Chains A and B, each alone.
Chain A
Amino acid sequence: DADVTQTPRNRITKTGKRIMLECSQTKGHDRMYWYRQDPGLGLRLIYYSFDVKDINKGEISDGYSVSRQAQAKFSLSLESAIPNQTALYFCATSDPGTMSTDTQYFGPGTRLTVL
């Protein structure tokens, strides 16, 4: 089974709708992240959480919110979706542990289309 799972994998919605993307992990990592990827481009960080009580904005947090329900779960919400939020969304986890480097483990992605 995959260590980092995302649901749904694909979603088509309409402008103005509220939508939630969910991420679950079985790696036991404290750190979780949400990224957005637009076609042909790299990753942009939306929000990140270093533990259950910690939530931080990334570089493109406007129009998004998150909830860290448990160590294993990190949800991303679009309160009122707009077409320019059409993108591929990735969840990731990490745990630097004793190695002093912070490898990230990514989920398979959610393809979101806002009409």
Chain B
Amino acid sequence: TQLLEQSPQFLSIQEGENLTVYCNSSSVFSSLQWYRQEPGEGPVLLVTVVTGGEVKKLKRLTFQFGDARKDSSLHITAAQPGDTGLYLCAGDPNFGNEKLTFGTGTRLTIIP
């Protein structure tokens, strides 16, 4: 069974600060996705990274896929209260041919 461990599990920081969330595994994935879940809603896809070493930016969010395609990070610059939510990474083991493996989640709270 492939496992995706996220760290930290909980993070509470002040508005304006920077932060990084990590998603780690001992398994290789063909691609990795990041989802954000806001209270009372289902998770929504933020980004998919597919190439080892790939970096994608979504406004103040920067996503990186590890060179070996076993890990990923999400960096948020100048965090805002609207960034508050549960962040989930999800690994695709085989180019869409098998189910995703979801990470353990990081609950982020940005304090105004």
Show the binding face of A for B, using Cβ within 8 Å.
4, 33, 35, 40-43, 45, 48, 56, 58-59, 90, 92, 94, 96-97, 99-109
The 8 A CB mask of B1-14 against A (1 = contact, 0 = none) is 10000100110000
Q: Which residue of B lies closest to A4 (CB)?
A: B42
Known: A100-B30, A101-B31. A42 touches B92 (CB 8 A): no
For residue A99, which residues in chain B have a CB less than 8 angstroms away from its CB?
96
Known: A41-B104, A42-B88. A101 touches B96 (CB 8 A): yes
Q: Given the complex of chains A and B, what is the CA–CA distance between A16 and B47 in angstroms? A: 42
Q: Is the CB of A106 within 8 A of B33?
A: no
Q: Given the complex of chains A and B, what is the CA–CA distance between A101 and B33 in angstroms? A: 9
Q: Is the CB of A101 within 8 A of B99?
A: no
Known: A90-B42, A108-B42. A100 touches B96 (CB 8 A): yes
Q: Given the complex of chains A and B, what is the CA–CA distance between A105 and B45 in angstroms? A: 8
Identify which of residues 68-110 in chain B touch chain A, using a CB-to-CB cut-off of 8 Å: 86, 88, 90, 92, 95-97, 99-100, 102-105, 107
Known: A96-B96, A104-B90. A40 touches B41 (CB 8 A): no
